Amino acid sequence: MTIRFGTSGWRAVIADEFTFDNVRRVTTAICQYVRSTAGGESRPLIVGYDTRFLGELFSKQCVNVITAHGLDALLCDRPTPTPTISHAIRDRRAAGAINFTASHNPPEYSGMKFSTADGAPALPETTKQLEELIREIPATPASTADAGRNNQSESYDPRPTYIADLQNKIRFDVIAEAKGRYAYDPLWGTGRGYLDYALREHGIDVETIHDWRDVLFGGRSPEPGEDHLDELRAAVKERGCALGLATDGDGDRFGLLDADGTFITPNNLIALLFDYLAESRGWTGGVARSVATSHLVDRVAEARGLPLYETPVGFKFIGELINQDKITLGGEESAGLSIRGHYPEKDGILACLLAAEAVAARGASLSAQLEALYARVGRLENGRIGVRLTPDIAASLPARLSRDPEQIGGRRVAHLNRTDGVKFIFDDGAWLLMRPSGTEPMVRIYAESESADDLEVLLEQGRKFLLD
């Protein structure tokens, strides 16, 4: 079978394509890559896993392969958030990390994500090399992987240094002084014992729900979208919380509920937090967004006279700009965010804590802050839908996305953007984007307009363009 790395690693269904044999093949390829790029320097590989089924066993098999290749391994001692692993790479000067996670995908999936020595997700040029190496690697029996193990592995707890590092990024004293209550839903994922622990360490009142491991994630995808946060909404209203905080299965994505239970979309939070950081920190760096993310970010950047960077979808591209210290904040509409001085990896824990800080510092709910922002730069409505990839749609997709129409649904196309998929920008500034998902078998259709009614029209026009 062919193993391909998508937007964020290789993902597949457990016991179908995601097998111990394929785990050994992928690990072997990563070891070969690391040894070929190490320049003679001996640095360990960190291995982590999320709360999915068989995560510990996949990780242990991975460690066996690593040590059989003469490399050291640091195995995380419990399910660990993706951003924590990114920090650990830098903290331990590791050669990189292999993280067993399928992030927000349904529970039947698992995945392997390779991050390089800078803590960032591997860039396309690296994952292409890995795919080529994997094709040349035959099935590897477990006995072969075990052979030659030489005790070059150790159990590793990355939590203390990650939590300590958050002290330099978040003004916990400001949050504590506001004396607000918070509710947190880790969605049975790796954020439990991290985000809530960081708040409690500063005497901040937080109630955690779903605070146990469930490999089925309650029977749904561990994605902190509005339709998955009903229990959190109830907790927020019952306890009179300032915010409801949520993270996905591996802790790299965020979900936010305001005090009245209103869901704050990732697009809006990214723009709001960029505005808050520019104001509160006095940072003069730019902002980066993916091609699928709201242009509300652009309006904030223009209002503050700060540069804007547009990237393909995939946080690895934003991570490069963080490494280059070009931006104050980078974000994706799929609920990924990181900031200057942090790691080149999205961090849902950080995003939630920054939102709590903004509410505490400004003394206003997120909804009130958004209304004030709209008054300055104007309101935008955005959304997305998905179209499942059938064999017929998949076969015709390249031709459909290569079309260059003068108008769609009676709107003149003023500009065509092929940074990632195809994005049609219309005369009035509204836009429509279509691109294949890098993590699921579907095409995503994104749209944005100044009117909620027009947004629905745009999304339907996008569906017709794709299917007619």
DSSP string, 176-214: HHHT-EEEEE-TTSTTTTTHHHHHHTTT-EEEESS-S--
Q: Which of 253, 258, 329 is nearest to 289 (CA)?
A: 329
H, E, C per residue of 214-272: CCCHHHCCCCCCHHHCHHHHHHHHHHCCCEEEEECCCCCCEEEEECCCCEECHHHHHHH
Question: Beta partners for 443?
Answer: 387, 436
Q: According to the model, what pLDDT value does residue 142 have?
A: 67
Show the tokens assigned to 97: 């990390």
pTM for the complete prediction? 0.94
What is d(CA 237, CA 245) in angstroms, rounded to the nearest whole number?
Answer: 13
Q: According to the model, what pLDDT value does residue 150 have?
A: 52
Is residue 459 within 8 Å of residue 433, measured between CB atoms?
A: no
Q: What separation in angstroms does the CA of 374 have from each of 59, 238, 445?
A: 47, 30, 25
- Burial class of residue 230 (count of CB atoms within 10 Å of its CB; 0-12, 13-18, 19+): exposed
Fold match between 10-158 and 167-377?
yes
Q: According to the model, what pLDDT value does residue 437 have?
A: 83
DSSP string, 92-154: TT-SEEEEE--TTS-TTEEEEEEEETTSSBPPHHHHHHHHHHHHTPPP--HHHHHTT--S-EE
Kind and range of the H or E element at 298?
helix 296-304
Q: According to the model, what pLDDT value does residue 145 have?
A: 59
What is d(CA 118, CA 437) in angstroms, rounded to the nearest whole number?
Answer: 26
Q: According to the model, what pLDDT value does residue 153 have?
A: 79
Q: According to the model, what pLDDT value does residue 151 have?
A: 46
Mean pLDDT, each 10-residue run in order, the chain (468 residues): 86 96 97 87 94 97 95 97 98 97 95 96 94 89 57 86 97 98 98 98 98 96 96 98 98 98 98 98 96 98 98 93 96 97 96 98 98 97 91 85 90 94 95 86 93 95 88
Query: Domain 10-158, CATH 3.40.120.10 — does that match?
Result: yes
What is d(CA 393, CA 436) in angstroms, rounded to the nearest whole number?
Answer: 11
How many Å separate Cα 271 from the centre of its chain? 17
Q: What separation in angstroms does the CA of 8 have from each of 69, 231, 252, 255?
A: 25, 29, 11, 19
E strand spans, 317-388: 327-332, 336-339, 381-388
Residue spans of the domains in the chain: they are 10-158, 167-377, 381-467
Show the tokens assigned to 100: 């067993």
Candidate CATH numbers 3.30.2080.10, 3.40.50.740, 3.30.980.20, 3.40.120.10; the one for domain 167-377: 3.40.120.10
Q: What separation in angstroms does the CA of 155 have from each of 46, 60, 70, 78, 152?
A: 10, 11, 17, 9, 11
Lookup result for tokens 């305001």: 258
Instruction: Spell out a b/e string for 105-117, using b for 16 or more CB atoms within 10 Å of the CB, else e.
Output: bbbbbbbbbbbbb
- Burial class of residue 283 (count of CB atoms within 10 Å of its CB; 0-12, 13-18, 19+): middle
**CATH number of the domain located at residue range(s) 381-467 in this protein:** 3.30.310.50
What is d(CA 148, CA 145) in angstroms, rounded to the nearest whole number?
Answer: 8
- Burial class of residue 379 (count of CB atoms within 10 Å of its CB; 0-12, 13-18, 19+): middle
What is d(CA 245, CA 195) in angstroms, rounded to the nearest whole number?
Answer: 9
Q: According to the model, what pLDDT value does residue 149 have?
A: 52
What is d(CA 21, CA 357) in angstroms, rounded to the nearest whole number?
Answer: 46
